[in-house]
């Protein structure tokens, strides 16, 4: 506790973060979450599968946003942990005979262990070098995993039925919703994806509200000066890197539980797990908590209605990426925030008089 | 003994190809600090340009190259002028995303125009000719020509950079953009010229890429990584450094392939990471980061 | 001794920025440093604060060897610094800037840091701007913030780098008052300054650096009148 004499005037001040709109939002989001959790009772299987995609892309986007938008670590290599998580799921369920519901969090923890030495290597690099270096590291992961013949080598492998048909709770879901095994598996994946998305948003917000978050803001603005006021840059960045690696690993595990088929080229694809994620974050608004949610909805709509156009669709995505970056770099929420001052997840620390 | 010597020579010559991939990138990264994720795809684009010109004009690839060079200079100049100059100066993310978008557009555009089929530039006899270096060691004429071209290109770039007024402008802009502007240098024009020159080098690289092995619209990103590895290992701002970087990656890949063909690319990546962990600024950095 | 520098050496190629520097600072002492541009003054601060490693020599704080300690560790040990060109955290408010220092440099919990930060804001005249984003501050306010943020880390030693530059006469006077108060509260100060009259109003000892070496040291007015200083500084007013 502070042991100096603070003037009576000063002692009357305190710190405040929460705002009235944010309390309303907190209540609203709990209700919304409940509604989403109950959705499998009413929704068609198509919608459930689409929402799984939306939730895990949202979670990935939140992670990358924390890394690049808040910690300033523009990584082009997060696919390393998506693939790692996917392969860990396969290894833990097939060889470890673990239930997938247990394998997913375990995959996250193991990914964290991998992230520590990986982070220490890539943190030797700055800026552009960090971006390229992180991509090379992801390629190393891909090439190493392609060597494991037990998991299919370069061509990959599928999840055997003893894993997919016996996920904990699957019989209960089949009975509750009167569906067959594949649909029940989707419903379970849906709940896991929903939990991951909500959990990731909560985790990111908690980080930003904590002293770690304060350190991130300082590092983002003035890296060297932050050190001179006591911020441990390396430890803060490593902490964020390991946290995002853990979550990304769990997401990778979920993705490949749902797809039930894995290969190195797919699991470590820079396009699906980094390029699209970056696009989502930038469209929505980088460096804001609300941005990725908007970005993922836009991206989902693009995928849903235009993906059939094949190469033309991809060219359109390329054009959108360029246009957004040149003409609207703050993203949709970034401009809304600037114009209307809207903040759903407040992180400003205010000094108020008691 | 001849086996080891052979491996080493193969590795060094492969390094020549990678140095060609990397030289243009060294120029643009060195002057503009531009992380051009489309560089590999631009090389592939140049290869398709040579292919199309060779077939349309009914000439061999070497002559088609001569026609392609000014065309690709124009492409580079235009790209920088219209697009990339706008992305620079706001941190690392805009150029990254813009050039990634460009990469996707080029790849898919090529697929639309040429299909995903593998292509090859027909060079005739030079493809299989070989030269004896004595001691029982023979090397292919193609790899030797590639390496030789890399050296010529780097000599040319060094001459441009250090002995011409344009090169002086390049160096000034690279060192301190704002002061260079005060001295009357329009950095936007300098950048556009630099990108044009980089594309000329990329087209030469494309010739050897296309003659050496099959190519298709999707091989760009892998080439990009090798190029970046060579540039970064060599050190910012040094063209001979880029050659050294290319040779190191080439050697690592070849030695890795000797141990196990599946380890070729992995060995290159590992060599890159090891060098960078020990020397984060590369081996022979000249410019300030 | 609060701070001791023993045989500190630092060169950048052929440029010698610190040439076998020795220095001793007592707790609560106020020391001024002057010298021509390029004399190695800011380099000295970088060496003390830890953003630069010396080629040779030793730095001790409260008799603890901190020569290899990182910058953030030195901040936690009690060294605070302000930069010549203010480097605030632009996307944060004035209060949040101080909060970073109070939480990470001083080790307080965010809740507990509000009152001490408010105290500093009151003393440096920034309380009215507490929730203002830094972008809209004037130069004087930025300089005050620079110092306030360093103070938020509760330093035993405060390094001020040319903090009076660019201010009007009145603004300079106000700043001097604030620095006097900080010194009076017990914080040791080392102050690099070109505006010598500001220094003379606060410091009890003056050092002159040139080419990384101490050229003169002692009671401020005597040092200013010495021949070495006259030779280096022809024409400056005391």
Render pLDDT for B129-157 as a digit per residue (tens, 0 to 9): 888 777 677 888 888 899 999 999 999 99
B10-42: b (≥16 Cβ within 10 Å) or e: bbbbbbbbbbbbbbbbbbbbbbbbbbbbbbbbb
Query: What are chain C's domains?
Result: 3-232 (3.40.50.300)
Give the distance from residue A343's alpha carbon to the nearest chain B alpha carbon, in angstroms.
Answer: 24
- A6, A231, A232 ranked by CB distance to C119: nearest: A6
Low-confidence ranges of chain A (pLDDT < 70): 1-5
- List chain B domain ranges: 13-111+138-278
Q: How large a percentage of chain B has pLDDT more than 90?
A: 62
pLDDT given at position B282? 87
A225 in C contact zone (CB under 8 Å): yes
Q: Which domain holds residue A196?
A: 40-274
Q: What pLDDT, in 10s, does the model give residues A271-286?
A: 999 999 999 999 999 9
Nearest-angstrom CA–CA distance, A170 and A176: 10
pLDDT given at position A1? 40
Which phi and psi angles does C93 have, rounded to 5°?
-85, 175
Whether A284 is in a domain gets the answer no
- Chain C neighbours (≥3 Cβ pairs under 8 A) are A
Helix pair angle (B93-114, A311-327), 10° resolution = 160
Q: What is the mean pLDDT of chain A?
A: 91
User: Which of C100, C129, C145, C150 is the best mutation test for A, with the most CBs of A within 10 A?
Assistant: C100
Nearest-angstrom CA–CA distance, B133 and B141: 11
* CB proximity list for A60: less than 8 A, separation 6 or greater: A78, A82, A248, A251, A273, A277
How many residues comprise chain A?
354
CB A284 within 8 A of CB A291: yes
A214 in C contact zone (CB under 8 Å): yes
Strand partners, C79: C157
A354 in C contact zone (CB under 8 Å): no
Q: How large a percentage of chain A has pLDDT more than 90?
A: 66
How many residues comprise chain C?
238
Here the tokens at position B281 are 């600024």
Nearest-angstrom CA–CA distance, C185 and A341: 41
pLDDT given at position C235? 55
Q: What is the mean pLDDT of chain B?
A: 90
Inter-chain residue contact C71 with A15, CB threshold 8 Å: no
Whether A33 is in a domain gets the answer no
Give the number of domains in chain A.
1
A9 in C contact zone (CB under 8 Å): yes
| CB neighbour class for C73 (10 Å; exposed up to 12, middle 13-18, buried from 19) | middle
How far from the centroid of its chain's Cα atoms is residue B136's Cα?
32
Give A-chain residues touching B101 at CB under 8 angstroms: 317-322, 325
Nearest-angstrom CA–CA distance, B82 and B225: 25
- C80, C90, C109 ranked by CB distance to A221: nearest: C90
Task: Read off the pLDDT band of B123 (50, 70, 90).
Answer: confident
pLDDT given at position A2? 43
Q: In this model, does residue B289 exceed pLDDT 60?
A: no
Give A-chain residues touching C107 at CB under 8 angstroms: 230
- A125, A282, A319 ranked by CB distance to B105: nearest: A319
| CB neighbour class for A274 (10 Å; exposed up to 12, middle 13-18, buried from 19) | buried
* ipTM of the complex as predicted: 0.89
CB C139 within 8 A of CB C167: yes
Whether A139 is in a domain gets the answer yes
Lowest mean pLDDT among B1-5, B124-128, B267-271, C45-49: B1-5
Q: What pLDDT, in 10s, does the model give residues C152-206?
A: 999 999 999 988 888 888 888 888 988 998 899 899 999 999 888 888 889 999 9
A vs C, Cβ pairs < 8 A, gives 133
Q: What pLDDT, in 10s, does the model give residues A55-95?
A: 999 999 999 999 999 888 999 999 999 999 999 999 999 99
Q: What pLDDT, in 10s, does the model give residues C67-88?
A: 999 999 999 999 999 998 899 9
Whether A206 is in a domain gets the answer yes
C122-160: b (≥16 Cβ within 10 Å) or e: bbbbbbebbeebbeebeebbbbbbbbbbbbbbbbbbbbb
Helix pair angle (A170-177, A181-209), 10° resolution = 110
A vs B, Cβ pairs < 8 A, gives 116
Q: In this model, does residue B288 exceed pLDDT 70?
A: no
CA nearest to A12 within chain C:
C115
């Amino acid at each position: 506790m502070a042991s100096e004499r603070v003037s009576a005037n000063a002692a009357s001040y305190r710190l405040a973060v929460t705002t009235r709109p944010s309390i309303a939002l907190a209540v609203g989001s709990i209700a919304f979450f409940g509604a989403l959790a109950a959705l499998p009772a009413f929704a068609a299987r198509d919608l459930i599968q689409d929402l799984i995609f939306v939730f895990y892309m949202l979670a990935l986007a939140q992670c990358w946003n924390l890394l690049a938008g808040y910690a300033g670590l523009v990584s082009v290599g997060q696919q390393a942990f998506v693939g790692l998580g996917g392969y860990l799921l396969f290894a833990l369920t097939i060889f470890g005979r673990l239930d997938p519901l247990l394998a997913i969090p375990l995959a996250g923890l193991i990914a964290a262990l991998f992230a520590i030495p990986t982070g220490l290597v890539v943190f030797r690099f700055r800026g552009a070098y960090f971006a390229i270096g992180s991509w090379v590291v992801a390629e190393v992961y891909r090439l190493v995993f392609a060597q494991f013949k037990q998991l299919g080598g370069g061509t990959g492998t599928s999840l055997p039925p003893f894993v997919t048909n016996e996920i904990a709770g699957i019989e209960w879901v089949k009975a509750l919703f009167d569906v067959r095994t594949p649909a029940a598996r989707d419903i379970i994946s849906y709940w896991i994806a929903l939990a991951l998305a909500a959990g990731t948003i909560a985790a990111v917000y908690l980080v930003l509200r904590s002293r770690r978050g304060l350190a991130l803001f300082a590092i983002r603005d003035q890296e060297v000066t932050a050190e001179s006021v006591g911020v441990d840059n390396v430890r803060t960045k490593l902490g964020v890197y390991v946290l995002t690696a853990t979550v990304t690993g769990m997401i990778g595990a979920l993705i490949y539980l749902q797809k039930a088929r894995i290969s190195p080229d797919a699991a470590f694809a820079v396009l699906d797990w980094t390029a699209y994620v970056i696009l989502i974050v930038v469209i929505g608004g980088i460096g804001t908590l609300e941005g990725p949610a908007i970005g993922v909805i836009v991206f989902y709509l693009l995928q849903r209605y235009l993906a059939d156009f094949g190469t033309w669709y991809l060219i359109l995505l390329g054009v959108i990426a360029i246009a957004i970056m040149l003409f609207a770099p703050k993203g949709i929420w970034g401009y809304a925030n600037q114009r209307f001052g809207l903040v759903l997840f407040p992180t400003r620390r205010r000094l108020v008089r008691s | 003994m001849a086996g080891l010597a052979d491996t080493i020579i193969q590795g060094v010559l492969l390094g020549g190809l990678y140095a060609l991939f990397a030289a243009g990138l060294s120029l643009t990264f060195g002057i503009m600090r531009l992380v051009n994720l489309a560089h590999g795809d631009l090389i592939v684009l140049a290869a398709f340009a040579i292919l199309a010109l060779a077939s349309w004009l009914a000439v061999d690839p070497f002559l088609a190259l001569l026609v392609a060079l000014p065309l690709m200079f124009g492409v580079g100049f235009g790209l920088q002028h219209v697009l990339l100059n706008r992305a620079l100066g706001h941190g690392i993310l805009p150029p990254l995303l813009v050039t990634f978008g460009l990469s996707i557009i080029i790849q898919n555009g090529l697929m639309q125009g040429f299909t995903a089929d593998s292509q090859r530039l027909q060079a005739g006899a030079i493809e299989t000719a070989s030269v004896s270096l004595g001691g029982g060691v023979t090397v292919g004429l193609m790899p030797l020509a590639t390496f030789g071209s890399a050296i010529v290109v780097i000599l040319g770039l060094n001459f441009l950079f250090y002995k011409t007024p344009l090169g002086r402008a390049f160096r000034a802009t690279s060192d301190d953009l704002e002061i260079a502007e005060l001295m009357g240098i329009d950095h936007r024009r300098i950048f556009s010229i630099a990108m044009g020159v980089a594309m000329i080098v990329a087209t030469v690289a494309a010739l050897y890429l296309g003659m050496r092995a099959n190519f298709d619209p999707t091989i760009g990103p892998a080439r990009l990584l090798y190029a970046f590895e060579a540039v970064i290992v060599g050190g910012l701002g040094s063209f001979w450094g880029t050659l050294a970087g290319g040779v190191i990656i080439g050697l690592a890949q070849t030695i890795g392939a000797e141990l196990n063909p599946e380890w070729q690319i992995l060995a290159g990546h590992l060599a890159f990471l090891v060098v960078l962990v020990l020397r984060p600024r590369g081996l022979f950095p000249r410019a300030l980061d | 001794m609060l701070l001791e520098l023993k045989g500190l050496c630092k060169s950048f190629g052929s440029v010698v920025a610190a040439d076998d520097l020795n220095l001793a600072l007592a707790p609560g002492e106020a020391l001024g440093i002057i010298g021509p541009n390029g004399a190695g003054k800011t380099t000295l601060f970088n060496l003390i604060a830890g953003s630069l490693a010396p080629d040779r020599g030793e730095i001790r704080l409260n008799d603890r060897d901190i020569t290899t300690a990182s910058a953030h560790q030195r901040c936690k040990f009690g060294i605070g610094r302000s930069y010549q060109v203010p480097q605030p955290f632009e996307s944060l408010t004035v209060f949040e800037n101080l909060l970073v220092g109070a939480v990470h440099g001083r080790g307080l919990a965010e809740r507990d840091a509000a009152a001490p930060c408010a105290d500093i804001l009151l003393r440096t005249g920034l309380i009215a701007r507490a929730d203002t984003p830094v972008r809209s501050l004037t130069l004087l306010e930025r300089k005050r913030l620079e110092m306030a943020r360093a103070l938020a880390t509760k330093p035993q030693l405060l390094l001020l780098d040319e903090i009076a530059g660019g201010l009007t006469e009145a603004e300079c006077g106000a700043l001097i008052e604030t620095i006097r108060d900080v010194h009076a509260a017990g914080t040791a100060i080392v102050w690099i300054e070109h505006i010598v009259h500001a220094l003379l109003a606060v410091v009890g000892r003056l050092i002159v650096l040139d080419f990384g070496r101490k050229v003169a040291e002692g009671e401020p007015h005597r040092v200013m009148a010495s021949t070495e200083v006259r030779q280096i500084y022809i024409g400056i007013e005391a």
